[in-house]
Chains A and B, each alone.
Chain A
Amino acid sequence: MQPNSPDQPPPLLELRDVRVSYGAIDAVNGVSLRVRAGEIVTLIGANGAGKTTLLRTISALLKPRGGEILYDGKSITGLPPHEIVRRGLCHVPEGRMVFANLTVEENLRMGAYLQTDRGVIERELEFVFATFPRLKERLPQLAGTLSGGEQQMLAIGRALMSRPRFLMLDEPSLGIAPLLVKSIFEKVVEINRQHGITILLVEQNANLALEVARYGYVLETGKVTLEDESPKLRANPEVRAAYLGG
């Protein structure tokens, strides 16, 4: 785990020995990790390593069997999902899950569901359009008619509408044209740098993820097997062989 030295701020998100199981099958087997405010941390690992399960547990779509999840120094274990969003922790799920039956604009407004101040909602919309200009052109369109890349932009934009402090992104590159992947990752960095939003990034494309993240965790069959600063992970022969294509 990242050292918690006195000159470092306390972590914004901390997982302590989190365990999750589906029935008798353990999916996450005692994971501890820390994400400090303002940084990008990535979680890499093969299919089925438990990355998505972990994110779904943090946003309370799944209940952990054991362990504790602390956000901003307080335990959020056992809170319902909407209470977690209210605290500024927002999750862009795997497969995007945009509301295909709603227009792009309605999707974005749903992202600001907890925000009742109209002025703030309009400002957030402008912020999202500035980040993803393409969404502005598509406002009255049904979200189901967007391309994969546009849907990913919408999913991230929708999450930004809630003015999160902490954003969890699950496989933003999945099923997207390679050219767009690069642009989406640039946006992720922009969101982090310019708006100070802390990001936990789950990605199969380990190369790309380690390029943008400061710190990385390697997850294998529900356990953290390696963790380090990104450059060191990229130099690690085991990581190179298993995740970076040699």
Chain B
Amino acid sequence: MSQIEQQLINGLALGAIYALIAIGYTMVYGVLRFINFAHSDVLMLGAFAAYFLAPLSERVFGPQSITGAICVVVASSALCAGIGMLIELLAYRPLRNRPKLAVLITAIGVSLLIEYTCQHKAVFKAETKPFPRLFPSQDFRFGGLAISSNDIVVLLVTVVLLGILWFVVQRTRIGTAMRAVSFNHQAAALMGININRVISFTFGLGSALAAVAGILYAMKAPGIEPLMGVQPGLRAFIAAVVGGIGNLPGAAIGGVLLGALETFAGGIPGISNYRDGIAFAILILILLFKPAGLLGRVQTEKV
């Protein structure tokens, strides 16, 4: 019993990170109808930003200070928001009225460009670097359960961020504009909405979440390296599709589901090596029965 609960907690923490990343994919898909493959690299850049900012924060706030950790996370998110907006401005905006395939290929190109530039010896190098401890961590024991404070932080941060995101999207003017743009660019433009600004904001928001996810992921991973975003990025993309691409709660649910499935499958003795296979087989099954994803609606193609 405690084994299952243990896996559930681990799975939730991993899934929460996937959820944060998946939201970025799904939001960009919502406003531009393409998959921003460079999103997983923004996640990696977020982790690296924190890696370089951590010593700075230690000098100012002392080692493993909570205030320092918050500053590092906020600064990394802001930096990545800027990077995300820059990627959109330089790589995607010039192709706005081109076939979607051109943008999709460009996104893959941007992703590879970032990954291999960062692997260069003058940048981050290809080797794995140990990620600094941003704040004190300890394990709590409840009966047979071992819960690390890191996992609690991951869950807490995710819940708070999802709450903020929900508020922004549902209750603010810019959030409503995002939903309007995702429905129809031209109709939104006729309301006086500056489409470019809304799209830019969407990239900024998604990239900031990705940066936080990158830092949380790095805390659980053995270290960070320029290709660290690829695996969680791919999973989060799949989570977004399973949840119903373009649908925000869907992305969150998809992320948590994928994290939980992966962890559970990994915890079954004898088949733990097949955990990805099992997790993805279940996802394929879900898509077979709900092709538009769990919360997605089937859209008829307009002719």
Chain A residues proximal to chain B, CB less than 8 Å: 59-61, 80-82, 85-86, 90-91, 93, 97-102, 106, 109-111, 113-114, 158-159, 162
Contacts and interface: CB of A to CB of B under 8 A. Distances in A.
A93 B187 contact: yes
Contact of B193 (A91, A98, A102, A113): A113
Contact of B176 (A59, A86, A110): A110
B98 to A, nearest CB: 14
A93 B186 contact: yes
B180 interface: yes
Given A85-B191, A113-B191, A158-B191, 9 more contacts: A86-B192, A99-B179, A100-B183, A101-B182, A102-B176, A102-B179, A109-B176, A110-B191, A111-B191
A91 B179 CA distance: 20
Interface of B: 173, 176-177, 179-180, 182-184, 186-195
Interface centre among A59, A61, A90, A110 (most CB of B within 10 A): A110
Contacts of A158: 191
Nearest to B182: A101
Contacts of B190: 59, 61, 81, 85, 90-91, 93, 97, 159
A106 B177 CA distance: 9
Contacts of B189: 60-61, 80-82
A96 B184 CA distance: 12
Nearest to B30: A101
Contacts of B186: 61, 81, 93, 97
B166 to A, nearest CB: 15
A222 B182 CA distance: 32
B110 to A, nearest CB: 26
A86 B190 CA distance: 10
B191 A162 contact: yes
A152 to B, nearest CB: 14
A99 B179 CA distance: 8
A162 B192 CA distance: 9
A60 B189 CA distance: 9
